[in-house]
Amino acid sequence: MSVSVALEVNGRAVSLELDPRTLLVELLRRELRLTGTHVGCDTSQCGACVVHVDGRAVKSCTMLAVQAAGAKVTTIEGLAQGDQLHPVQAAFRNCHGLQCGYCTPGMIMTTVDLLRRNPNPTEHEIREGLEGNICRCTGYQNIVRAVAEAAVALREAPAASASA
Amino acid sequence: MYAFNYVRAGSVSEAVQAVPGGNFLAGGMTLLPSLKLRLARPDQLVDLAGIPGLAGIEEVGGRIVIGAMTRHIDVASSALVRAKIPALADLAGGIGDPLVRNRGTIGGSIANNDPSADYPAAVVGFDATIITDRREIPAAAFFTGLFSTALQPGELVLRVSFPIVHRAAYVKFPSPASRYAMVGVMVVQAGKDVRVVVTGAGPCVFRLPAFEQALAANFSAAALEGLTVPADGLNQDLHGTAEYRAHLVPVMAGRAVAQAQGR
């Protein structure tokens, strides 16, 4: 059996015939070659595969592509405006909120959703908000700093968050 | 995953007609991992996401009624739930992680009845009513065993109706990786009734009558001193022994009572 799946990815209309078993992350990486979204654990624990579906951060390894039919999907590739990094991306770079970078796309996508819900989080709220994203390099210190810095940047320039 | 057909149902009757030999698909937070591990082999998945009216939270006749497809994030952030049943909002806000809460639903959670799921503790603790496409099931009769419920094949949960109760709290000891409850305890004081409900520790959610009697006489953590739970029959896995879980039950119960007292 194959199913027709039409959705919007990073503002672009996409229409594909897929085996219904295809995961959203497989659609993104294999069919669309958007390899910025990573697969870490493939068991919905690590958060490397986080993308936005209709504005909500979700684990794309635990969602069928067909469940995203009709939805607007945003991946890490869809955050920057041309050469202008999204404020969360810029903050991760400024604070060196990464080492190997494998978890970073998921961390950033989760952070964008977190800061949209809670524009001024405490350190505790940042750590709780990143509970579903695992980094095995950094010990999280610079990641938490990056989120705090991004929160300030977004509060000062709220238009950037609206565009994500 | 084994191959399956995918059906997107447009109505409850369409979903119920399409499901024989298959599974309903709600948020998929447990079903998809099970399929990936080839623990389940449904002929078809019947997606409930396109059925209008299955998600939402309302106050009806002095109760809070939550649609089966309501996501954990929406229960956790509902001003109505926060005002009327704050412990339920807290519980929903602690399920899994934010990304799981963005997809997982109350109907999916209770229909699956994972022994470590949080919602069954609330459904039993508040003595909620489960409304399906064919009947109403009281919480006490709903959860029947490991991954088992009173639901008949093809029966679909539509709503869960909770009484309004302020004095309650849920405290869990989560697995550090999955955030599932190794032990979670819900304490509810509704009038003269006290319910103490444990999830994560055994094959299915269960009540603790001795704890309930002690708290009915004296609603304080001190009333639980000396009460224990036998380790026999409790879960044992790489996260903890049955004895460890037995130890955690009164600890979590005491913390839940202390939290509920503040309400």
Beta carbons of A57 and B102 less than 8 Å apart: yes
Q: 10-residue block means of pLDDT along chain B (263 residues)? A: 96 97 96 94 96 98 97 98 98 96 98 96 98 98 97 97 97 85 96 96 98 97 96 94 97 98 90
**A39 and A71 both lie in a single domain:** yes
Whether A160 shows a pLDDT value over 60: the answer reads: no
Per-residue pLDDT, B179: 76
Q: Is position B36 within any domain?
A: yes
Whether A149 shows a pLDDT value over 70: the answer reads: yes
CATH of residue A18: 3.10.20.30
Q: Is position B225 within any domain?
A: yes
**Which one, of A94, A93, A90, A65, lies nearest residue A79 by Cα?**
A90
pLDDT digits (tens, 9 = 90+) for A25-48: 999 999 999 999 999 999 889 999
Q: Is position B118 within any domain?
A: yes
Beta carbons of B6 and A110 less than 8 Å apart: no
**B186 and B208 both lie in a single domain:** yes
Please count the residue pairs, one from chain A and one from chain B, whose beta carbons lie less than 8 angstroms apart. 76
**B152 and B189 both lie in a single domain:** no
CATH of residue A101: 1.10.150.120
Number of compact structural domains in chain B = 3
**A107 and A71 both lie in a single domain:** no
Contacts of A55 (CB under 8 A, 6+ apart): A72, A74, A113, A116
**Which value, to the nearest 10 degrees, does the dihedral of the CA atoms of residues B44, B46, B47, B48 take?**
-170
Q: Is position B52 within any domain?
A: no
Domain finish residue from A40, A55, A78 = A78
* Secondary structure tally for chain B: helices H, strands E: 11, 14
In chain B, what residues touch A67 (CB-CB under 8 Å)? 25, 28, 47, 49
**A107 and A147 both lie in a single domain:** yes
**B175 and B251 both lie in a single domain:** yes
Whether A163 shows a pLDDT value over 90: the answer reads: no
Whether A162 shows a pLDDT value over 70: the answer reads: no
Nearest chain B residue (CA) to A57: B99
Confidence of residue A24 (pLDDT cuts 50, 70, 90): very high
CATH of residue B201: 3.30.390.50
* Residue numbers of the domain that contains A152: 87-163
Per-residue pLDDT, A157: 80
In the Cβ-directed half-sphere of B45, how many Cα atoms lie within 13 Å?
27
In chain B, what residues touch A114 (CB-CB under 8 Å)? 98
**A67 and A15 both lie in a single domain:** yes
* Residue numbers of the domain that contains B237: 168-261
**ipTM of the complex in this document:** 0.94
Residue from the list A44, A66, A129 with its beta carbon closest to the beta carbon of B6: A66
Per-residue pLDDT, A137: 94
Beta carbons of B6 and A64 less than 8 Å apart: yes
pLDDT digits (tens, 9 = 90+) for A84-126: 999 999 999 999 999 999 999 999 999 999 999 999 999 999 9
Per-residue pLDDT, B32: 96
**A64 and A93 both lie in a single domain:** no
Number of compact structural domains in chain A = 2
3 state DSSP class of B145: strand
Domain finish residue from B163, B195, B223 = B163
**Which one, of B78, B33, B36, lies nearest residue B55 by Cα?**
B78
Q: Is position B208 within any domain?
A: yes
**A43 and A11 both lie in a single domain:** yes
* Secondary structure tally for chain A: helices H, strands E: 6, 5
Per-residue pLDDT, B176: 76
Would you say A87 and A24 are in contact if contact means Cβ atoms under 8 Å apart? no
Residue from the list B1, B49, B100 with its beta carbon closest to the beta carbon of A21: B1
B146 CB neighbour count, 10 Å cutoff: 12
